[in-house]
Amino acid sequence: MRTTDIRVRDVYFECEDFRYRTPIKFGGVALDRVTLLNVRLTVEGGAGKTATGFGAMPLGNVWAYPSRVLTYDQTLGAMRFLASRVADAYRLCGLSGHPIDITHRLEPELLLAGNDFTAIHRLSDPVPKLAVLVVASAFDAALHDAYGKLHGLNCFRTYTREFLPDDLSHYLGAEFDGLHLDDFITHEPKPSMPLYHLVGALDPITPEDVTRPVGDGLPEHLAEWITRDGLTHLKIKLNGDDLGWDVERCVRINAVAEGAQRARGVTTWWYSLDFNERCQNVGYLIEFLQKLRERTPAGYDRVQYVEQPTARDLKAHPENKMHAAAKLKPVVIDESLLDLESLKLSMEMGYTGVAFKACKGQTQTLLLAAAAQKYGLFRCVQDLTCVGASLIHSASLAAHIPGVAAIESNGRQYCPAANAAWDAKFPGVFAITGGSMNTALLNGVGLGAVS
C-alpha cells in the first residue's frame, strides 16, 4: 500500500422511498415515486486512520432496467437485491489503492452479479449493465467520499499524481499513455452554472393546461417556473413516436418561453431535446428538426443539443447512424454510454457528444470525461431526478468537468420533499435564482454533501 491508499473496512446501505409531487414520464411510462439508495462505507488508510463516506443515488429502475415483461416492483426488487451483492463485493474485496483503482478492478465482478440474478430467476429480460452501474454508483460515491475525508480534501483534489500516480493508459488503454486524470478536471468548481429545467411530456405549459392544481405553492406551469427561477435553459421531453405531437409541443413551449422571457427582458435562452431513445429511426429525428425549423426558426436555433434519440443498444441497431442528424445539431449518447467501447462505437455511428451521469459512477464518469475531452466531443452532465446528496454529487461533476456549460436538477420540480432538509445547508443549490445554480459551494471535504 502507498501511504495514501485505502482498504474498505465496512459497508452499510438502506433504501428510502419518496413520492413525486407530480408524475414524470420516462420512455412512455408515467412515474410517481422514487427509491433512494443510501450507502455508508468505512475505509482505513495506511496509517490505520479510518473515515466513513456517504453516497446516495435514485435507483431509477424505469430508466436503468426498462422492461415490457417485468413489473416496476420486479425490476426495483432486482436492483435492491443487487445492492446487497455490491455491498458484499466492496466489503470482501480486500483491494487497496485509490478509489478509482478499487472500483475499476472491482467492476467486472459487480457486473457478474447482474448475470447471476438473471440466471437464478430465469428472467426473460436480463438485468442490464446499466442497472448494475446505477446500483454500484452509490457505493463508488461513498468510497470517493470516504477517501476525500480521510485526507481532508475535496474529492476533486485527490485525482492528482500525488494520489493517483498511474496515467490514464492504466484504465483506458495505450492511446492515453502519458495523460493523467488531473489534466481533464478542475480542482475548483465553476462558481455558478445555468440550470436546465425539465419540461416533462406531462407537465402543464399554460394556465389552461393545469386541470388539477397541486396547490403547494410551487409553480403550476412553465411560465411560472421561468419567472420564479429566472430560467434560461429548458430541457424538453418528447415522445418520439408522434411527429405532429412532438413538433407542436416544441412550438407551444417556445411560444410560452418567448412570452415569459420578453416580459423579463431576456433575449437569449436555450433548449435541449430528449426523446428517451423512442425514435424508431434517425429519419424521424431529421424530419422533426426540419419541421421544427419550418414552424419556428427562432425555436430551432435555440436547440443546443439532442439527447439519445434512438434505441440504446447501438450494436443491435447499426442502421441508426447519426452523421446526417449531427450536421443539424449535436447528438449525444446517454443510455448507450456504458464504457469506453460504447463511447467509441457511438463516435463511429456519428454521435458528436456525451451525456454524463453520476448514476453511472464517479470512477467511470471521470475516466470517460477525460476520453470525451481527448476526442473533442460535446459534453453535458444530466441527473436522474437526483435529490439530496445525489444532487450534490451530480452537480459537482458538472462543475468540475471542463466544457460542461449547464447543469440539471429535476428533483426540485418533482420531489422537493426529499430536498427539504438540504436547502438551508446549500443555499442556491436546491433553490434556483437567476436561472443558475450556486456551484461555488461544491468544494467541501469528500463529495461535500455529508460531513
Residue 311: pLDDT over 80: yes
71-101 per-residue burial string, b: 16 or more CB within 10 A, e: under 16: eeeebbebbbbbbebbbebbbeeebbbbbbb
Runs of H (alpha helix) within 152-206: 169-172
Residue 27: pLDDT over 80: no
How confident is the model at residue 135, as a pLDDT? 98
How confident is the model at residue 165, as a pLDDT? 95
52/143 Cα distance (integer angstroms): 8
383: three-class secondary structure by DSSP = coil
307/152 Cα distance (integer angstroms): 37
Stretch 360-388: mean pLDDT, rounded? 97
Residue 364: pLDDT over 90: yes
* pLDDT tens sequence across 45-92: 988 999 999 999 999 999 999 999 999 999 999 999 999 999 999 999
Stretch 374-379: mean pLDDT, rounded? 97
| Model confidence, pTM | 0.97
327/244 Cα distance (integer angstroms): 23
**Sequence-separated (6 or more) residues with CB below 8 Å from residue 32:** 19, 20, 23
Q: How buried is residue 221: exposed, middle or buried, by Cβ count under 10 Å (0-12/13-18/19+)?
A: middle
Residue 270: pLDDT over 90: yes
Number of Cβ atoms within 10 Å of the Cβ of 327: 11
Share of the chain above pLDDT 90, in %: 97
229-261 per-residue burial string, b: 16 or more CB within 10 A, e: under 16: bbbbbbbbbbbbeeeeebbebbebbbebbbebb
How confident is the model at residue 26, as a pLDDT? 80
* pLDDT tens sequence across 382-396: 999 999 999 999 999
DSSP characters for 305-368?
A: EEE--S-S-TTT-TT---HHHHTTS-EEESTT-SSHHHHHHHHHTT--EEEEEGGG-HHHHHHH
Average pLDDT, the chain: 96
342/268 Cα distance (integer angstroms): 35
- Give the confidence band of 29 by pLDDT, cuts at 50, 70, 90: confident
* pLDDT tens sequence across 90-109: 999 999 999 999 999 999 99
